[in-house]
Structure 1
Amino acid sequence: MAESLSLKDLSEDQIQKAFDKSSSKFKEPGVKFVLITKANEDIALRMAREYFITQEPMNKCLGMKWTEDVEEYWKKGMKTGLSLMFLHDEDDDPIAFQIIEIVRFDDRCDIEGIQYQGHKDLVRCLADCDRNADFFGHFQTKEAFHFLSLGVTPKYGQRGYGTKIFNFAIDFVRNFEIDPVYIKVEGSSNFSKKIFERAGMEILHEKYFEDWEFEGRKPFQNTGIHKSLKLY
């Protein structure tokens, strides 16, 4: 693919062909491997609402609420049609997802326009860490696949599904035959960081939760065994 073609110009046909290549290698008894589409988006949103924002360390310590802003944030992440999900093959019970979007070096977020304080603190922290990691400057690229959120439903935990869907996501984006392919990802839990580092992701920046302070507040407290945010 030519360098001048934006990743945001990937067509539905290109996405489907890349997915078909990856799914042809998928052999997991009792599990369906699917793209997240408008038809099944509600399943992914329910998983995000009921499990991800209640279990992910930063969301959990902020007491994150499911607001219209938060829902739109998730829908925006799924809008590219690149996100992946594992479902139980009998009842479509959600098992795991990997949300994937396209990001550019000149993307900007209106942090002050966010209404809910917890969501604002989260986005502010991510933006600060992005500046320090300098992903686009480090790799001298203008675009990347952003592996936005990796989640596993608690009842299916400790079975390797997080590792499997992350590795399939890497295989999936490589099927677009872009050389080189750049993947941007953040890890806030010990479990996700192990998955990313075993896959060979390069650590660009680490921020300890206890060191984050804004206007005299330290919003990221009581994160348990999870002590930092790493950017890869």
Structure 2
Amino acid sequence: MEEPIAILRDHFLPDDPPSVATDQIMTPDMRNRCLAIFQSKISFLVVDRTSGQPIAARFMRVNRRVETTAADMFTDPSLKMLVGLIDIIDEKANIFERFQVDEAIQFFGMCVRRDKRRRGIGTELVEFYIQFVKNLGIRPICIRGEPTSKFSIRNYEKSGLRHLVTVDYAGYQKDVCPVMKTVPGEDVCCVYAAKYE
């Protein structure tokens, strides 16, 4: 289970705009959260056929209406901040009411190793994951994803999922104060989703 954690630590957290904005590092809280998601048995680690080295990972989980992830569950202040932002995004997207479902497959994070980027891998993986979920045979099924960079937003625009909301996290405030720095030009998170009957 260390490979997905390592690729996330080395190739996602340093580049993902909300992770950068909230100063994410691989703390014990973050590691446990990621392991729990990866162990849900619907996440993927993509391995190079020749070298056997991990080149990408997609963290997916079943997101349930009755589930709550309270920021207070964590001791790490930066993870609390990120969970607070995710709560705001969830509230604005309102997936369960919007699609009248009790659960959704959430694309929680995707990372491609830096030396493997700009080769179409990310685009192919988004398409593959959507098809994988559709092929589970569960109906109705709802898929949701939250792209956080211009690159990932472009991938979702091509995916067939519908754009629901854009959240400008540069405006994310707590007690009337901005709570995070922003990454110039990369300070929004979108929500894309679709329901398949």
- TM-score after normalising by structure 1: 0.79
Match of 1:50 in 2: 10
Any idea what the Cα deviations from partners look like across 1:5-38, whole Å, max 9, x if unmatched?
Answer: xxxxxxxxxxxxxxxxxxxxxxxxxxxxxxxxxx
2 CA distance for matches of 1:98 and 1:113? 24
**CA shift for structure 1 position 193:** 0.9
Whether 2:178 is the aligned partner of 1:229: answer no
Higher strand share: 2
Runs of 4+ with >4 A deviation: none
1 CA distance for matches of 2:154 and 2:169? 18
RMSD of equivalent CA atoms:
1.3
Match of 2:107 in 1: 147
Whether 2:127 is the aligned partner of 1:167: answer yes
Match of 2:179 in 1: 219
Contact 1:85–1:165 under 8 Å retained in 2: no
**CA shift for structure 1 position 227:** 2.5
- In structure 1, give the amino acid aligned to 2:103: E
Whether 2:71 is the aligned partner of 1:111: answer yes
Match of 2:96 in 1: 136
Match of 2:49 in 1: 89
Larger Rg: 1
Match of 2:168 in 1: 208
Contact 1:86–1:165 under 8 Å retained in 2: no
Pairing partner for 2:29 from 69, 90, 95: 69
Match of 1:186 in 2: 146
- In structure 1, give the amino acid aligned to 2:171: D
SS of residue matched to 2:160: coil
Unaligned runs of at least 5 residues, structure 1: 1-40
Any idea what the Cα deviations from partners look like across 1:55-94, whole Å, max 9, x if unmatched?
Answer: 1001112221211110011011112111112211122222
Any idea what the Cα deviations from partners look like across 1:90-136, whole Å, max 9, x if unmatched?
Answer: 22222112111111111111211311111111100111121111000
- In structure 1, give the amino acid aligned to 2:95: F
Change over 3 Å in CA distance of 1:65–1:173 after alignment to 2: same
Unaligned runs of at least 5 residues, structure 2: 193-197
Q: Identity percentage over the alignment?
A: 22
**CA shift for structure 1 position 150:** 1.2
1 CA distance for matches of 2:75 and 2:14? 19
1 CA distance for matches of 2:187 and 2:120? 22
SS of residue matched to 1:80: coil
Match of 2:116 in 1: 156
1 CA distance for matches of 2:18 and 2:172? 12
